[in-house]
Amino acid sequence: MHPVHHAQATPDKPAYIMAGTGETVTYGQLDARANQGAQLLRALGLKRGDGIAVLMDNSARYLELMWAAERTGVYCTCLSSKLNASEADYILRDGNCRVLIASKGCASVANALLPAIGDVTRYMVDGTIAGYESYEAARDAMPATPIADPVPGGILLYSSGTTGKPKGVKHALSDEPFGTNVSPLVMLGKGLYGFTPEMVYLSPAPLYHAAPLRWSMAVQQTGGTVVVMERFDPEAALRYIQQYRVTHAQWVPTHFIRLLKLPPEVRARYDVSSLKAVWHAAAPCPIPVKQAMIDWWGPIIGEYYAGTEGNGFCAISSTEWLTHQGSVGRNLTAQTKICDDDGNELPPRQEGTVYFAGGGVFEYHNDPGKTAEAANAHGWTTLGDVGWLDEEGYLYLTDRKSFMIISGGVNIYPAEIENLLVTHPKVADVAVIGGPHEEMGEEVIAIVCPADPSEDREQLAAELNAFARAHLSHVKAPRRIDFREELPRHETGKLYKRLLRDEYWAKAKVPA
């Protein structure tokens, strides 16, 4: 199905609700506003294959803009609200974006962009600043009838840049007639998580990220209601689950960690019995964290491993996970292959680069070199992760290859160390990187955010060092523990580890 059909069948049903303010947009309103937005894009001369961009926080206008673009055949590039002006300008140029629609919440970056994007048509939602016209006013001047030539559009999303320059992931536009084009996530959602038109889905993450955006749109293709959190707060998330009787939700491990670190009396204050299925992705979840969530919410927690590239999709249920702890599941849309550095396929339980065979086709926009680097001689493609398969085909991720630490010739994967340290009650967040070391080449450095900022740092470092050595081999235990108030994390929970690593290597004046 498609939201246009739900607008005809159930026009008064909420398509989405902004969790904090309670602002509700019905399917009828969503369809009318999407039509007006599409009329505006056509009036600006945009045609199939052209590009626009949105630079917005979780505004009530976000999803209506996506559905407006979706029916015009344009590529919509969603920019992180955390980018600075130079980063945003790079993506605007690389994505060939002719129109930028920003939100007032991103006014600082939008203003800083003005000198560089004079040739880009500019609008702003939720208010305006100099150099930007009101999107709502321009939209409302348009008819609410469908455009004469509706055609499916696409989403051009860029990686968060954790390992270098952001890469735009581009898929061919659908040739299906408009209104019949259905996201593959709709079928996956029905099969894995019991999607129905009666579902109420909580989206706690930024909509500019691939997973929250695409799952929210899949829910609306199903005919359910999306509850959008303006920003994540662990107690607020529990309150919204109770208030809106949420049945489904997607999370990242960082969300789980913050939920579990709430005081027990706070967690017990809210009724979460309406939940029928939740799932998580974006990063491997520490085993104790996943177990604690299952103990709390029951065996309703699924997990998947996939990328914006859409070249494969692994999934695992709670029941499966309890007998395959640490796995991210088996592939549902492709074949998982583990290869050595020479591209040779490895047998079960041998670690190597994770490849997908027979999955979706993609390209990195304007970068044939990166596209070629993602494939091996067999034509299998990788997201750059390292892992291994068991005999049943369950995939276990180790870490990203680019984050691997080589200390004294030993390969060390930071994720294992991070997953241990974050379970310590005095740790709020942690990142592990390889820093320069004259003798060993690299040393393991843990950068820790204490749960209590007033904690004695020297004493805490000693406690964490003893904790690590009690659970890890000595080569994996951090040789150095540093502290800071916060880490450079994407709102989806992904860590900008490259920024930390570059910082340490730059101080040492040694090539990273």
Q: Which domains does the chain have, with CATH numbers?
A: 24-181 (3.40.50.12780), 404-508 (3.30.300.30)
Q: How many CA atoms lie within 13 A of 169 on its CB side?
A: 19
Question: What is the three-class DSSP state of 249?
Answer: strand
CA distance 507 to 512: 11
The alpha-helical segments, DSSP class H, found in 180-323 are 184-193, 210-222, 234-244, 253-260, 264-267, 287-297, 318-323
Structure tokens at 232: 């994540």
Residue 404 is predicted with a pLDDT of 76
Phi, psi of 421 (to 5 degrees): -65, -35
Other CB atoms within a 10 A radius of the CB of residue 347 amount to 9
Residue 492 is predicted with a pLDDT of 63
- Per-block mean pLDDT, blocks of 10 residues, the chain (512 long): 94 98 98 98 97 97 97 95 88 96 97 95 98 98 97 88 70 92 93 98 94 96 98 97 98 90 96 98 84 98 94 97 97 97 94 94 90 93 93 90 73 85 94 84 92 94 94 88 90 76 75 46
Q: How many residues does the chain have?
A: 512
Specify whether the CB–CB gap between 207 and 228 falls below 8 A: yes
Residue 254 is predicted with a pLDDT of 82
Question: What is the three-class DSSP state of 303?
Answer: strand
CA distance 273 to 276: 8
Report the side by side order of strands in the sheet with 154-158. 133-134, 121-125, 97-103, 51-55, 75-79, 154-158, 168-170, 363-364
Residue 508 is predicted with a pLDDT of 67
Specify whether the CB–CB gap between 405 and 501 falls below 8 A: no
Residue 92 is predicted with a pLDDT of 96
